[in-house]
Amino acid sequence: MPETTTLTPTQAGPPADPVAARRPARRGSATRRTRRIAVLFILPAAAYVVIFHLFPLAYGLYLSFTNYDPQSRSGPQPVGISNYTKILTDPVFLSSLAVTGKYVLYVLPGAVGLALVLALLVNRSRRGIGFFRTALYVPHVVSLTAVSMVWLWLYSPQGWFNQILGRFGAEPKQFLLESSSALGAVAVMRIWKALGGNMVLLLAGLQSISRELYEAAAVDGAGRWAQFRYVTLPGLRGMLTYVVVTDIVYLAQSFGEIYVLTRGGPVDSTTTVNFLIYKQAFQFNDMGTASAMGFVLFALISAVAFVSLRQMMRTRS
């Protein structure tokens, strides 16, 4: 059926000013061209995100409802929500959640608090301060695996820590082999590793606070502590929020240092969720359960990050 067009009175007659009438049409085609170019520019990045981020995420979600074993030729078979019900009652998974939470709590205060102290110390214009800033940042640029290997030796019976203990006549301590000390030992290494990165971010935050605010506070009689409490902390809150939230996200996904230092032991005392996912997926070929664990972890990290963000932003407002 042919399309019919009804002309409105304004469209019916010739325009009073032909130039003015052409202007919107030209503008419209220019806008379309701009849009087309914009889409072409966005397309590679969008395709990358869809193919390498969103699709694997969706595929992982699908796998979490299957019993997929890559060794098997039958492919993924749907099993409903049984993977989720199984892991939520599995003491090993629940223990790994607790270990992950404990690990975040062990590392976060040290990694942020000490980084803030260091940032305050290097936030001065003294001779040679650049050297200290660089030296403190070095652990951040070294790979986590390499750092973990170094600390594996430091904690060994012949390592530095035991040599120091020996100087004081103490017996060698098996830092990574006792369930009471293993997670703490890994956390100390992770704090050391995280300090540099956090310090640089907080230093950037400190340098964005106007000097005038400190001068005004000093004129009002504020001492060092009052200046820190009422000028520095409020001025840093945005950056602190960013540091805390990203640290939570990264720490809750810890794997590399656990793999190198303890392999989840002793007695599962350092088995984080990510380490358990690795075992489930690549030692037991149980991709369905591993995917379900991944999505539970994802949900928990999102929830904790969201609550932290809300809480810190609310305090700010």
Instruction: Return residues touching another protein (CB under 8 A).
Output: 35-36, 39, 43, 47, 50-51, 55-56, 59, 69-76, 92, 156-158, 171-172, 174, 177, 179, 263-268, 279, 281-285
To another protein, the closest distance from the beta carbon of 208 in angstroms equals 40
Q: Which residues contact 315 (CB under 8 A, 6 or more apart)?
A: 237
Neighbours of 149 (CB within 10 A): 13
Q: Return the bridge partners of 66, or none.
A: 78
Which 3 state secondary structure label does DSSP give 71?
Answer: coil
Task: Answer whether the bond into residue 266 is a cis peptide, omega within 30°.
Answer: yes
Q: Which is nearer to another protein, 100 or 123 (CB)?
A: 100
* DSSP annotation string for 100-158: HHHHHHHHHHHHHHHHHHHHHHH-S--TTHHHHHHHHHHHHHS-HHHHHHHHHHHHSTT
Q: Which tokens sit at 137?
A: 């940042």
Q: Which is nearer to another protein, 56 or 234 (CB)?
A: 56
To another protein, the closest distance from the beta carbon of 80 in angstroms equals 18
To another protein, the closest distance from the beta carbon of 82 in angstroms equals 13
Q: Which is nearer to another protein, 55 or 306 (CB)?
A: 55
Determine contact, residues 284/217, Cβ cutoff 8 Å.
no
Determine contact, residues 189/147, Cβ cutoff 8 Å.
yes
Q: Which is nearer to another protein, 174 or 308 (CB)?
A: 174
Q: Which is nearer to another protein, 4 or 71 (CB)?
A: 71
To another protein, the closest distance from the beta carbon of 143 in angstroms equals 16
To another protein, the closest distance from the beta carbon of 62 in angstroms equals 10
To another protein, the closest distance from the beta carbon of 296 in angstroms equals 20
Q: Which is nearer to another protein, 192 or 278 (CB)?
A: 278
Name the H helices within 156-255: 160-167, 182-207, 211-219, 224-227, 233-251
